[in-house]
Copies of this chain bind each other. A is one copy, B any other.
Amino acid sequence: MNSKQEFIEKLRNSSLRPTKQRINICEVLFNRDKTFHFTINDLFNLIKDKTGEKVSLATVYNTVHAFHKKGYLKEIPINSNQTYFDTNVTDHHHFFDVKEEKLIDLKNEDVGPIEIQKSIPGKKIKSVEVLVKLED
């Protein structure tokens, strides 16, 4: 487990001070095999569970938004009372299991290229995201 040093550097390179709290959040978010989807509350609980240390809710919000701004996290647009984030910041699409309130990644090849045949003067495309809602 040598990730701690990497996270410290990553934070420094982002002009974010490597605090104990931020390093713990990095461990929970980025020290894992697969990317994952979470809400602030999910993360808040995971930190306690996985690191044994409590980080205040305000800090979780602050840090998630800092990481989001730096491009280390992505926000997923779905209708939910809570905001969903994704550690997979590449362009990709999602299933959303409405009943379980769970996001599942779709690879780009599972969807195929999407060509938008319309443009709005003065505006350019920032992202194209497909959301596939699932029911039983």
Residues on A facing B (Cβ under 8 Å): 75-79, 83, 95, 97-98, 104, 106-107, 109-112, 114-118, 120, 122-136
B residues less than 8 Å from A75 (CB atoms): 79
Q: Apart from A98-B126, A107-B118, A124-B134, list 13 A-B contacts with CB within 8 A.
A: A76-B79, A97-B120, A106-B118, A109-B117, A110-B116, A110-B118, A111-B114, A112-B115, A122-B136, A124-B135, A124-B136, A126-B134, A131-B131
Contact of A130 with B128 in the complex, beta carbons under 8 Å: yes
Q: Which residue of B lies closest to A130 (CB)?
A: B130
Given contacts A120-B97, A120-B104, contact A83 B77 (CB under 8 A): no
Residue among B77, B123, B127 making CB contact with A97, cutoff 8 Å = B123
In Å, the complex CA distance between A67 and B46 comes to 38
Contact of A110 with B104 in the complex, beta carbons under 8 Å: no
B residues less than 8 Å from A120 (CB atoms): 95, 97, 104, 134
